[in-house]
Amino acid sequence: MSLLLPLFFTLFFSLIIWKWKWFHDAAIPKYLFIFFFILKVLAGIFAGDLYLKRYNGGDTYTFFLSSQKLTQSFYDDPAEFTLMVTGIGNDRDFIEKYGEIIAWDNNDLVYNDNRTIIRINALIGLVSMQNYNVHVIFFAFMSMIGLIAIFKGIRLLTQQSPFLIVSLLFLVPGVMFWLSMASKESILIFAMGILFYTCVSLLTVSSSFVHILGMFLAGFLFVHIKAYFLVLITPALIAFSWTIVTGNRYAPVKYLLVYLFFGGMFFGLKYFTGFDPVQVVFMKRYNFEAVAQVFSKDMASYIEVPEFTSDWQSVLAAFPEAIASVMFRPYLWESDSLLITFAAIENVLILLAIAIGLIYFNRESAIKNSNLIMFCLFFVFSVFVLIGLTTPVMGAIVRYKAPVLPFLCLIPVLISGGENSPFKEKI
């Protein structure tokens, strides 16, 4: 049963991919999406096994094991289970009755709700028979939906080769590995994809109720998984939308104006409300450094993060070092484990792709795709800045940046063109 059940759900979701129009594209054979899904399932299972052996399961197994108390309550009292899964019930009463739930409470200053992923695992647990790999398959499928949403959104914005775009989205090693696990990152890419696609569709196709509803549901899910990603993607989407509704002119200027406005809010909020976002960044960093010291054995890839104060000049001065740490590290000579080695090789390949894009830079392509290029640049590097300022562990850096890797890898494709370019458009 430990093998048959995962095989059944893999076939079940493969059939959904084959039948559901969401996964259909005139230029891409349906079997290719099924192939990508099976690769994601295998990658997710491998990642879970690696985490179990190296980190005693890590957070992915912690959330899985924590959810089992909720799942078990369904058989004792379905109404109580429903209240807990929906968040309506009193969790203190539930814990008093069934016992403490590991990782249920998260006291981090940055709202990063563990409860949502525990609840999702609890729902999957109703059909998984406590088989961890079944949970992986569900998460891989949700990640698949999100990546397809990004693909569909990009297809509405550019004429670049769909085969090239879909390869960049699915075959980047970090995306394949980290966004296939039973983890927050898989849910995050689901929410990010739906938010991106619905926003693009509202601006370019139709303002249907389904698109509006999808955008708000994705935003709600963002808040309950990793709220800071919603904060970081919001100015990029505002600038993106402004550029489209004004005829796709002067995209760099509009992005700069939007980010100057949000930057002013970030540094000026303390003068009006007493709340200082910079202090939240400080606390996030110090919390991570404390964890790294307690679990020094598991945090062997510890690195120094740039020093900065609450002064805006100091924070801006730390940006280049923060971006460089996330963009370039780990270096090949820093590889001390299989994960770090693969991450270092991936960094080299991404830098090579960017170099090729610059070598074959095409002004016409860059102008035509300027809005999407600016979106990718500003969103990716704002995420890189936050990670670089707060995360002193290379293993965590590699994982946290995975959700924006598809947008980073898209940049060299969008800026290049010409007959000899390896990223040549498909006419």
Q: Where are the domains of the chain?
A: 1-225, 246-427
In this structure, is the dihedral angle defined by the CA atoms of residues 27, 33, 34 and 35, taken in order, positive or negative? positive
Query: Higher model confidence: residue 295 or residue 291?
Result: 291
pLDDT attached to residue 425: 52
The pLDDT value given to residue 293: 63
Give the DSSP letter string of 93-123: HHHHHH---TT-----SS---HHHHHHHHHH
Q: Considering only 95-109, 122-136, 345-359, which range has the smallest mean pLDDT?
A: 95-109
Contact 48, 60 (CB under 8 A): yes
pLDDT of the residue at 294: 57
Q: Which amino acid is at 376?
A: C
pLDDT value at 343 more than 60: yes
DSSP string of 14-75?
Answer: HHHHHH-GGG-BTTB-HHHHHHHHHHHHHHHHHHHHHHHHHHTTHHHHHHHHHHHHHHHHHH
pLDDT-based confidence at residue 295 (cuts at 50, 70, 90):
low
Residue predicted with more confidence, 299 or 26 = 26
Q: Please choose, from the candidates 189, 166, 177, 172, the residue with its C-alpha nearest in 3D space to the C-alpha of residue 346.
A: 172
**Confidence band (pLDDT; 50, 70, 90) for 99?**
confident
- Distance, in Å, from the CA atom of 25 to the CA atom of 202, rounded to the nearest integer, reads 19
What per-residue confidence (pLDDT) applies to 292? 64
Mean pLDDT within 42-47: 94
C-alpha neighbours within 13 Å on the C-beta side of residue 183: 22
Taking the C-alpha atoms of residue 388 and residue 391, their distance in angstroms, rounded to an integer, is: 6
Percent of the chain residues past pLDDT 70, beyond the cut? 93
Report in angstroms the alpha-carbon separations of 196 from 17, 38, 219, 238, 300. Answer: 21, 24, 10, 12, 36
Q: What is the pLDDT of residue 1?
A: 61
∠ CA 367-369-371, nearest 5°, is: 95
Which pLDDT score is estimated for 297?
Answer: 47
Q: What number is the average pLDDT over the span 10-38? A: 94
pLDDT at 420 over 70: no
The helix or strand, by DSSP H or E, that contains position 412, with its residue range, turns out to be helix 405-415
Q: Which of residues 204 and 14 earns the better pLDDT score?
A: 14
> pLDDT at position 427, please?
42
106-110, 130-134, 219-223: least confident range? 106-110
pLDDT over 50 at 84, yes or no: yes
Most confident residue range from 51-55, 149-153, 205-209: 149-153
Split at pLDDT 50, 70, 90, the class of 287 is: confident
How would you class 2 by CB atoms within 10 Å of its CB: exposed for 0-12, middle for 13-18, buried for 19 or more?
Answer: exposed
Half-sphere exposure at residue 411, Cβ-oriented, CA atoms within 13 angstroms:
21
Confidence of residue 291 (pLDDT cuts 50, 70, 90): low
The pLDDT value recorded for residue 5 is 93
| Model confidence pLDDT, tens digit, residues 186-234 | 999 999 999 999 999 999 887 788 888 888 889 888 888 888 899 999 9
If one compares 377 and 225, the residue with the highest pLDDT of the two is: 377
Confidence of residue 424 (pLDDT cuts 50, 70, 90): low
Across the chain, mean pLDDT equals 88
Tens-place pLDDT, residues 227-253? 889 999 999 999 999 999 998 889 999
Contact 138, 403 (CB under 8 A): no
Taking each helix axis from N to C terminus, what angle separates 227-245 and 370-390, rounded to the nearest 10 degrees? 160
Q: What are phi and psi of 90, to 5 degrees?
A: -85, 105
pLDDT of residue 252: 94
Average pLDDT estimate for 34-38 = 96
pLDDT number for residue 299: 47
Q: At what angle do helices 58-76 and 114-128 cross, to 10 degrees?
A: 60
**C-beta separation of 144 from 40 below 8 A:** yes
Q: Please give the model's pTM, rounded to 2 decimal places.
A: 0.91
Query: Residue 201 burial (CB < 10 Å; 0-12/13-18/19+)?
Result: buried
Taking only Cα atoms into account, the Rg of the chain, rounded to an integer number of angstroms, comes to 22
The mean per-residue pLDDT over the stretch 371-384 comes to 96
399 pLDDT above the threshold of 50 = yes
* Cα–Cα dist 65/22, whole Å: 32
